[in-house]
Amino acid sequence: MTTDDSTRKMPWHIWVVGILTLLWNGSGTYTIMMAQAGRLANISSDEAAYYAAQPSWFVVATDIALVAAVAAGVALLLRRRAAVWLFALSLGGIIVTNAYDLVAGASRTVVSQGALVVTLIIAVIAVLQLLYSWTMRRRAVLK
């Protein structure tokens, strides 16, 4: 008796990773977009100034990366191989925006060790999400 991809049971860990991904990326998306809009409560004045000074292309690139990460979590739960490309798009956005911030001298990681730690955690989690989705695609779990 053989089973094809459409009848194969979804591994339990896809549910765990997918839900955690949605929670993590969703909360990050909400936080950053609220900060960009100047509506995030309890934000320091220097951090508010940082978001207010961002160029439009930077805001768009950041928002694409954020929305792609949330969409990747949904795609993962739906077992779609688009999750791999969406996670890659999100990671690419993280790399581009952080590199620009460093070159422009605007990076908060330079002035705050806490910001550096958070940025590194975000980058590591983004890489892990991409690797996980790529592995699930290789194992034919994602269609």
Helices and strands (H, E) in the chain, number of each type: 6, 0
64, part of any domain: yes
Domain count, the chain: 1
| Angstrom distance (rounded) from CA 81 to CA 61 | 23
Return d(Cα 41, Cα 47) in angstroms, integer: 12
Place of tokens 């798009």: 89
Assess if residue 4 is contained within a domain.
Answer: no
Residue 51 inside a domain? The answer is: yes
Bigger pLDDT: 22 or 111? 22
Quote the pTM value.
Answer: 0.91
Model confidence band, residue 4 (pLDDT cutoffs 50, 70, 90):
low
At 6, which amino acid appears? S
Structure confidence by residue, pLDDT tens digits, 39-50? 999 999 989 999
Any idea which residue has 């991809």 for tokens? 5
